[in-house]
Structure 1
Amino acid sequence: MVEEQGPTVESNPLGAHQGDVLISPPSMEPNQRVERREPGRRNKIKFPKANEAEVWRKLDTDLSEVLERSLHGNVEAKLNLLGKILYQECKDRFGEITIKQTAALRGKGRREKEINQLVQRRQHLRKNWRKATQGEKEGLKMVRDEVKRKLASLRRAEHIRKHRKRKEKERANFFKHARQLLEDKKSRKLEVTNEKLEQHIRGQYSDPWKVQGLFGRNILQLPLQSISLGYKQGKTRLVQELRKSTDQLVRCADAQVRTG
């Protein structure tokens, strides 16, 4: 018996997975760069004030010289180095602004924790008292009164502690303010010429009219006419009051009034 040999067929290694879809990894372009995580935010520079023109002018000159010596290569390389060089030079010259560390929040103290526990226990007792029978309510009432007494005592002690802390803080602030008022003032130097100083003092404290009299021609006149008019009106009013008085003795007295 002779076996017929047919053409050999290569077995497909992927025949068992014809239904599967093979996903090849994406091809990367030669110029494509891998993204890198940027460094954290840098601290701020303690730059000088804007009115310090000489400091800014010197900084501009020095940075120009440093950049001319340090920047090499293509445009992209120069842009990458520009920010680093500027930041490092300004940091070495002026320093950084240090960020103050915030103090950690104060946790609850022993007394405050006990107060919270007693409040929760009182609420639990109130719920049980509503569901309890008449005989159980008496015992729950005694327990609730005891909890209420302890809670009042703890709250009173906590109030005293907070009041004492507040007073200590106010006392410290008061002494700090008083120390600032009583400390020696910083002396300053007055740079001005003698001519300008004398001119300023003469303009502020001298009076060019001090040798002139108050009462003179076209300077100051007394209101003589108004004074005499007021005197005559007063005398006339007195005469009318005496003549038209309701008292008969006053009307018949015939008092003499000099009206001038």
Structure 2
Amino acid sequence: TDDPTSKYSCSFGLSSLLIETEENDNDKPIYISNVIKYENYIECYSPPPQTLATINHDSLILHLFYNDIVLTEKNVTFYDCSSYLTCTTCMNNSYNCTWNLLTSACTDNDLNIEKNETIISNTSIDQCPRYNVSMKEIFIADGNSFILGEKDRVIIQIIKLKYDIQKYFRCILTLMNGSIISTVGKIKNDLLICDSFQIFYDKDIGQQSLSFEIQWSECENECTYKKLETLTNFTVNIYKCKYLADSCGSCILLQDDYHCIWCETDKS
């Protein structure tokens, strides 16, 4: 039997205490916890999340002490699935994480009681719904109407969509001031086409760059729209010719993406 004055304890650190090395800061425990002793085993409490957040290591060494004697030690890896914010990063790790489509959250597989089509638990990122845009940017004159997804301009390819769940789509352009413009997106043969946009801006500047994203929902009105992951960062550049050049020469030298001509009458 144990001496009643004896005590078991656990400590978590960065280095082994069973191998003789020169003393350094890594030998100092990061966290020490009491234990619960049962007849045939002992339980240790792991460090709280706020303690783990302050160290730049995923793996720690757990030491079991009896008074001042190290009985055993073992490597322990701590991970937080919720730190992965996209399906591909959630799948592309060695931990037991799954992606929940309806909540757009990465969670521990053991916490998912229901296993259905809303849970992506395959370790391959190929199972993640995404989209890819055929180019990185386009240029549109201020006030002109344009459609994204038309084959002659921008192709938006949908990859591994879960059609039974991901049913409704909208295309979002975000202006520099944070305001958004939204149109309906429609799927046809794994391609998405956005309804027409027409954008005006008031500032007297040559160009505004708008970020683009696609959002989806499982129902049309009452459900929350979730961001669809992208393979390509796509930008829509809205421009005003009159603020891009102040002379005929500088107007002619503008890159071909700007469809500008010099008007001698208006000097613009």
User: Normalising TM by the smaller chain, what interval?
Assistant: under 0.3
Q: Please state which structure has a larger fraction of its residues in helix.
A: 1
User: Higher strand proportion, which one?
Assistant: 2
TM-score (norm 2): 0.17
